[in-house]
Amino acid sequence: MTERGLSGPRLVVAAAAGVMALVAAILSTPHPGESELRVTLRVTALVSATFFLAAFTASAWQRLRPTPTTRWLLRNRRYLGLSFAASHLVHGLAILALARRLPGGWGALPPTTLAGGGAGYAFIAAMAATSNDRAVAALGRWWHRLHTTGVYVLWFIFTFTYAGSAAVSPFHALLTAAFLAALGLRLAARSSARRSVAPSAPPEPPMRGAQSRDHGAG
């Protein structure tokens, strides 16, 4: 990734366009149905997970292994988050379309799925709406609390979802490992930051004999 690559709002536009192109390709069959919608869900979830992990680990990568790529990630962390929100909006629309096709509708989905998904989308909406300088200034410390809580709630939802089928899906096991590794990376970066700001030990006082010599020399 270079300085001349996609960045800022253009990144979000490109991400949204790319996701919609993928979905259009999946649903381009003569009679798209439940199977195509399920493929759409898997693809958009994977795209969303990729953007989320990039934003989730951007600061940690820059602290632990600074490179031009990590600088790009950190500088575009806000837009990676908005790209995630755009992708997951499409994912949510696919969920709505699938629920309409299921015999039991929303009742066919487990309550935990509805509760977790609802909480996740509430945080996504709140974080996307406040991903601007004006909101940062207006909310102050609450902005940091909202976004910190939100990213960890979303991390938990992704990890819990993929871990639930990791035993039967090697790919989901790999994604679970990726999310756990991302958390480990953030914790390692936090530990590194704390060590770097820890107060240094005070200098040892000079030996008594040295004090006497200095006093005599004066």
In a domain, 209, yes or no: no
11-51 confidence digits (pLDDT tens)? 999 999 999 999 999 999 888 888 999 999 999 999 999 99
In a domain, 100, yes or no: yes
**Segment 186-197 mean pLDDT:** 87
User: In the numeric block, which tokens belong to residue 211?
Assistant: 């004090």
Its domain, for residue 111, covers 9-193
Count, in order, helices (H) and strands (E) of the chain. 9, 0
Largest CA distance in the chain: 100
Q: What is the pLDDT of residue 114?
A: 82
In a domain, 206, yes or no: no
The CA radius of gyration of the chain, in Å to the nearest whole number, is: 24
Q: What is the pLDDT of residue 198?
A: 55
In a domain, 211, yes or no: no
Q: Domain tally for the chain?
A: 1
Q: Which of 31, 56, 45, 58 is nearest to 92 (CA)?
A: 45
Q: Which of 95, 94, 159, 149 is nearest to 124 (CA)?
A: 149
In a domain, 38, yes or no: yes
In a domain, 201, yes or no: no
